[in-house]
Structure 1
Amino acid sequence: MTTAQTTTPRPDTNVTCEANVDENGNEVEYSVKCVTVKEDVRDAVVVITRTTTKGVARLDYSVNPKRAANFPTIQKLKGRVFFKDGEMTATIKVPVKNNNMKARVDEVHIVEISKPTTGKVKKGKAEIVVLDDD
């Protein structure tokens, strides 16, 4: 299994995927998984999975705070992730900044995926939990 990156694709790969169904004839579905990290890591790596490796696709994502300190470790973020033909997973690297606050509050941020060029979003929200380690 290979992993896609969130880099901007060459113009020829920035197209709508021709595969709305997987190899078994089922509609392609996308999901995102929760992740927990310590405050002193550089990035929270969020994994998005699709139910096929067939075709190219893209979808949008956003990261927003649910419960955060006055100086959150993760800032609001929006972007687009791309799947190349043959890829079943894609990753989003969400920068985590150690706020060095003595607040002792674990932060929770919501990752939401939407608008796939093909198929549908099955599990479109997940949490990034940032454990306070100050």
Structure 2
Amino acid sequence: MHIFIGGAHNGKREFVRNWMEEPSQWEWVGEGHAWSLDRLAEVDSEFIVLDRIEEWLERSSMDEADAWNHIIKGIEGKETVVILTDIGRGIVPVDPEQRKLRDQCGRLYQWLMAEADEVTRIWYGLAQTLKKRGETG
């Protein structure tokens, strides 16, 4: 799994599209339609891009542990790219629901990052490798 993370409107999706060697073989889940775990389970492609997880989690009644289990089951055996929006950056929202979402995303993102082979931060279109399995830093 390769994760791309960055703030809103920092060029993550465009970067991923340009990074892909054969974009047509990738199935995007989360772009142009409502993100759902049902949609993830229906994907027949061996190449998946998961996008807008934070939007789905906000609409879902599922906690991050259940979301984690469903995501891992849905991507098992598939080449996966995950695009995450960093919604925290150290700012604590005043609204309790937004605080809950920030905390849920934070825990879910940690689990995804631990499982990922590569993590790339996109900051205003610039890429920075944060993790690459097999490399020592």
TM-score (normalised: structure 2): 0.25
TM-score (normalised: structure 1): 0.25
Structure index of larger Rg: 1
Between Structure 1 and Structure 2, the one with more strand by share is 1
Between Structure 1 and Structure 2, the one with more helix by share is 2
